[in-house]
């Protein structure tokens, strides 16, 4: 395969030829359109050497999710936005759950979950995350402002 890199060979049941045999796990640079913009990202896929050359590639559901996250993170990087891993790191820095971080910021409960897994934050949300990453005092002030003591 031109432009692809072999990661490893694994024994598995191939959904293309319905046999258990050695399949290649590979990566390549792929293109996708996100928000009207063409983005290059690293895509992982399986290659069946026993199948027809025109239909010899497939992905698992988990692999597809990782590929989509890679594409979204490539978009984020191209627009100087925090990646999903960086958002997770901010949350973990404070020892908070996704819901707790969303509450601290005064956002909806599912917002952080979406930003860590699929949605791309806009600049305003990104700026708030950067503020609390760089300034724990700002995080404390938000905590006091957005939590109700019972």
What CATH number has the domain bearing residue 114? Answer: 1.10.260.40
Q: Which of 13, 44, 60 is the last residue of a domain?
A: 60
- Verify that 91 and 139 share a domain, yes or no: yes
Flag whether 101 is in a domain.
Answer: yes
pLDDT on residue 150: 35
Report the alpha-carbon distance of residue 45 to residue 16 in Å, rounded: 13
> What digits encode the pLDDT tens for the residues 61-79?
999 999 999 999 999 999 9
| Number of structural domains found in the chain | 2
Flag whether 90 is in a domain.
Answer: yes
Answer yes or no: are the C-beta atoms of 87 and 112 closer than 8 Å: yes
Q: Tokens standing for 13?
A: 């049941």
Flag whether 72 is in a domain.
Answer: no
pLDDT on residue 102: 92
Flag whether 34 is in a domain.
Answer: yes
Flag whether 67 is in a domain.
Answer: no
- Verify that 54 and 8 share a domain, yes or no: yes
pTM of the model: 0.84
Answer yes or no: are the C-beta atoms of 84 and 117 closer than 8 Å: yes
Q: Tokens standing for 133?
A: 């990453």
Question: The domain containing residue 28 runs over which residues?
Answer: 4-60
The H-assigned helical ranges of the chain are: 61-78, 84-93, 98-105, 111-117, 123-134, 136-146
- Verify that 54 and 92 share a domain, yes or no: no
> What is the average pLDDT score of the chain?
91
- Verify that 89 and 121 share a domain, yes or no: yes
> What digits encode the pLDDT tens for the residues 92-111?
999 999 999 998 899 998 99
pLDDT on residue 134: 93
Give, as one character, the DSSP assignment of residue 120.
Answer: P
Flag whether 108 is in a domain.
Answer: yes
């Amino acid at each position: 395969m031109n432009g692809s890199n072999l990661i490893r060979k694994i024994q598995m049941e191939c959904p293309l030829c319905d046999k258990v045999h050695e399949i290649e796990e590979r990566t390549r640079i792929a293109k996708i359109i996100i928000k009207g913009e063409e983005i290059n990202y690293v895509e992982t896929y399986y290659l069946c050497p026993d199948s027809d050359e025109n239909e010899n590639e497939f992905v698992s559901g988990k692999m597809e999710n990782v590929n989509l996250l890679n594409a979204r993170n490539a978009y984020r990087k191209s627009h100087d936005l925090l990646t999903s891993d960086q958002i997770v790191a901010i949350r973990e820095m404070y020892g908070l759950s996704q819901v707790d971080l969303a509450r601290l910021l005064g956002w909806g409960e599912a917002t952080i979950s979406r930003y860590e897994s699929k949605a791309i934050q806009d600049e305003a949300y990104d700026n708030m995350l950067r503020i609390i990453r760089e300034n724990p005092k700002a995080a404390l002030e938000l905590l006091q402002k957005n939590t109700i003591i019972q």
